[in-house]
Amino acid sequence: MSQPAKAPFTGRHMAAIMVAFFGVVIVVNVMMARFAIGTFGGVVVENSYVASQHFNGWLDEAKQENALGWKAVASHRSDDRVQIVLSGAPAGAVQMTAIARHPLGRLPDQTMTFSQNADGTYVSAQTLPAERWRLRIGVNAGGKIWRTEEDIR
């Protein structure tokens, strides 16, 4: 039996392969660029030079806050309020606030205030939709200021 003759590999075949390859690359790049632009929440700082002048001070504050050894664990309650368990802070007058930020910036930031329950936990006065949020928690207790960030879902 004779084998059928194979068609020769021509310049048209190579051109088709190159067009297909670069077409896929371009489509993927455009798609990834659109995803990146669509999920960016906005400006991180207004003026990066001015922010850089405060950076070492922020590091010193963070070291002092870490030395306190306080810890906060946030959770979403069934009534859409946020509950925070604060450990390590001195007993007494504790003022706690938080700013809830949506990770992708799709929902506006929400300022939250907390009051202490009889069991020692802190519950927000405001409700928070059941989505993914990042809380920037600020605690003022015994004249000491402590800040942290906590993710809740």
**Domain 70-152 is of which CATH architecture?**
Sandwich (2.60)
Spell out the domain ranges in the chain: 10-40, 70-152
Q: How far apart are CA 23 and CA 82, in angstroms?
A: 49
Give me the pLDDT at residue 67, please: 86
Torsion of CA 56, 58, 59, 60, to 10 degrees: 90
Token code pair at residue 117 = 């329950």
Q: From CA 95, how far away is CA 13, in angstroms rounded?
A: 72
Question: pTM for this structure?
Answer: 0.64
| H helices, E strands: number in the chain | 3, 7
Residue at 60: amino acid letter: D
Residue 21 is predicted with a pLDDT of 98
Phi and psi at residue 151, in whole multiples of 5°?
A: -90, 140
pLDDT tens across 56-65, in order? 998 998 898 8
pLDDT tens per residue across span 77-124: 889 899 988 888 777 788 889 999 988 777 888 899 998 888 888 899
| H/E run at residue 57 | helix 55-68
